[in-house]
Structure 1
Amino acid sequence: MAGSYAELDGKIWMDGKLVDWKDANVHLLTHAMHYASSVFEGERAYGGKIFESRKHSERLLNSGRALDMEIPWTVDEIEAAKYETMKANGLEDAYIRVLAWRGAGEDMGVSSSRNPVRMAVATWAWGSYYGDAKTRGAKLDIAKWKRPSPETAPFEAKAAGLYMICTMSKHAAEAKGCSDAMMFDYRGYVAEATGANIFFVKDGEVHTPLPDCFLNGITRQTVLGMLRDRQVRIHERHIMPEELEGFEQCWLTGTAAEVTPVGQIGDYNFEVGAMTRDISNAYETLVRS
């Protein structure tokens, strides 16, 4: 997309009504802008149907609760808002961003219990997250930042504040000519990319990090189910950095990333092999079924 997202045409759903895209604004003293009191979902629609839509809406509410922020809309109301926004923008194949946050109110400090919780839904056309990496494999840097301990942040929430180190890691990767960065966790185990979960293949078996300090993505769970249907042996476990040398294939999963092959992580190279291609193609078929 060329130009600023702020300058797109269309409608955005805000707090129960559709408003013009350029009028979907918040006050400078919105609590989320100062203290990251915000949660969100990223979703994709294929042929007018949002993939795993209710799971995303349910997770949004759970993320809000994890931040002590009760979102005053039900799953059914969130579902209706998403489809209303898509229809208003004339979209069938679309990316959907649902955002809930603490707005401006009586509190302007760390505490925000008296401020209203607001919600918005934006939809737009968005192609491949990693460009042509789906055919040749994405190139990843290795991030210097690590996913934090569960004792320091509610990792099970899709919370805006948790993405600060992801943004910095991706900027550093792009400066090196990479598409993204792989992150370790606070213990030094392989964790995930900045906005996607990660899988490896060795001797026909799949290895993927145990999501005990990072988000267990909905796409990740979908792909695990696809692998089980194929009776592929799966190892969900802690993966040490030195094991990267022995893996043959690698791919990323996420709503934006879908299933994207990885060709390189740092100095380690991977083939875009048969299992990677099969899972990627099968996922494309599934989301459009």
Structure 2
Amino acid sequence: MAGYDDRDGKIWMDGEMVDWRGANVHILTHALHYASSVFEGERCYNGKIFKSTEHSERLRKSGELLDMPLPWSVEEINAAKEAVLAANGLTDAYVRALAWRGAGEDMGVASKRNPIRLAVACWAWGNYYGDAKLKGAKLDIAKWKRPSPETIPHAAKAAGLYMICTMSKHAAEAKGCSDAMMFDYRGYVAEATGANIFFVKDGEVYTPIPDAILNGITRQTVIGMLRERGVTVNEVRIEPGDLEGYQQCFLTGTAAEITPVGQIGEYSFEVGALVQQVAADYETLVRA
């Protein structure tokens, strides 16, 4: 497959549809130097973006948290996503909306005089974790921890917050793992590098309190689905030693969808009935 900079297709940029290979920015773009950018990952199923409005709302909220108010409304962002899907002739796709501080009069840390820009791209993308959806992903335990909310805007889906995730995933892949599980600054279980995490014990579900991590849209959807089925969902602080007592584990996220986990470090989990049911229910929901 060609690199992401060398493909046929169209990308929406600042209100115009441009050729894929021509969707470029200047080397002195502020976001390239200072990570002043926010983004959304979304999936389109059968021609419909799942929870498109919620994602657009979060994109705008992320911008506000970075002192970068987006000059596009939720409706305008939604329309841009629909337009780029149509321009590329895709009905099942991954959609990436990205807002950033562009090149302008400022090139130091401050960037108030630089324009805020927006682009939307889409492409066909299969299972994020490959065949792990069937046999369960293998996770490393990251050495990096999710920071305190006093140090980062943890509720923003901001590019700069993924730096330690990239390093953690690289280290995991070097060990033959699909991903890494991260603890937070207090030592509690937090999340994977790009997905929220859930555990199952005796028919009940346990997941970290999202007070230092992004409260994912898929995470919220799955909690709602489980509770509608009568499954007890416990949002709790999970300590490292608690992993030994859990029987099943799965990840949730727009890219990950519902992916079972078979191993985290020395701990093993079964790809059990509850995880399989959640995955089936989610697939039905997004394609409804």
State the TM-score bracket (shorter-chain normalisation).
over 0.9
State the match for 1:76 in structure 2: 75
1:34 correspondence with 2:28: no
Task: Kindly provide the amino acid, as one letter, of the partner of residue 246 in structure 2.
Answer: F
Deviation of the 1:95 alpha carbon = 0.2
State the match for 1:90 in structure 2: 89
State the match for 1:276 in structure 2: 275
Deviation of the 1:3 alpha carbon = 2.4
Runs of 4+ residues deviating >4 angstroms: none
Quote the Cα distance in structure 2 between the aligned partners of 1:104 and 1:12. Answer: 19
Quote the Cα distance in structure 1 between the aligned partners of 2:74 and 2:102. Answer: 21
Quote the Cα distance in structure 2 between the aligned partners of 1:36 and 1:238. Answer: 30
1:122 correspondence with 2:136: no
What aligned pairs does 1:115-264 form with structure 2 within 5 A after superposition? Answer: 115-264=114-263
State the match for 1:50 in structure 2: 49
| Percent pairwise identity | 74
Quote the Cα distance in structure 2 between the aligned partners of 1:196 and 1:218. Answer: 10
SS of 1:3's equivalent in the other structure is coil
Task: Kindly provide the amino acid, as one letter, of the partner of residue 184 in structure 1.
Answer: F
Task: Kindly provide the amino acid, as one letter, of the partner of residue 270 in structure 2.
Answer: E
Deviation of the 1:279 alpha carbon = 0.2
SS of 2:161's equivalent in the other structure is helix
SS of 1:78's equivalent in the other structure is helix
Give a deviation string over 1:119-140, Cα, whole Å, max 9, x none: 0000000000000001000000
Quote the Cα distance in structure 1 between the aligned partners of 2:112 and 2:212. Answer: 27
Deviates more, 1:254-263 or 1:3-12: 3-12
Quote the Cα distance in structure 2 between the aligned partners of 1:120 and 1:72. Answer: 13
Q: What is the TM-score of this pair, normalised by structure 2?
A: 1.00
Deviation of the 1:102 alpha carbon = 0.2
Give a deviation string over 1:194-228, Cα, whole Å, max 9, x none: 00000000011000000000000000000000010
Quote the Cα distance in structure 2 between the aligned partners of 1:284 and 1:230. Answer: 15
SS of 1:72's equivalent in the other structure is coil
Deviation of the 1:163 alpha carbon = 0.1
Deviation of the 1:234 alpha carbon = 1.1
1:23 correspondence with 2:43: no
Task: Kindly provide the amino acid, as one letter, of the partner of residue 204 in structure 1.
Answer: G
Give a deviation string over 1:146-196, Cα, whole Å, max 9, x none: 000000000000000000000000000000000000000000000000000
SS of 1:33's equivalent in the other structure is helix
Q: What is the TM-score of this pair, normalised by structure 1?
A: 0.99
Give a deviation string over 1:80-112, Cα, whole Å, max 9, x none: 000000000000000000000000000000000
Unaligned runs of 5+ in 2: none
Deviation of the 1:27 alpha carbon = 0.2
Quote the Cα distance in structure 2 between the aligned partners of 1:91 and 1:29. Answer: 33
Task: Kindly provide the amino acid, as one letter, of the partner of residue 111 in structure 1.
Answer: A
Two-structure CA RMSD over aligned residues (Å): 0.4
Quote the Cα distance in structure 2 between the aligned partners of 1:106 and 1:198. Answer: 42
SS of 2:5's equivalent in the other structure is helix
Deviation of the 1:8 alpha carbon = 1.1
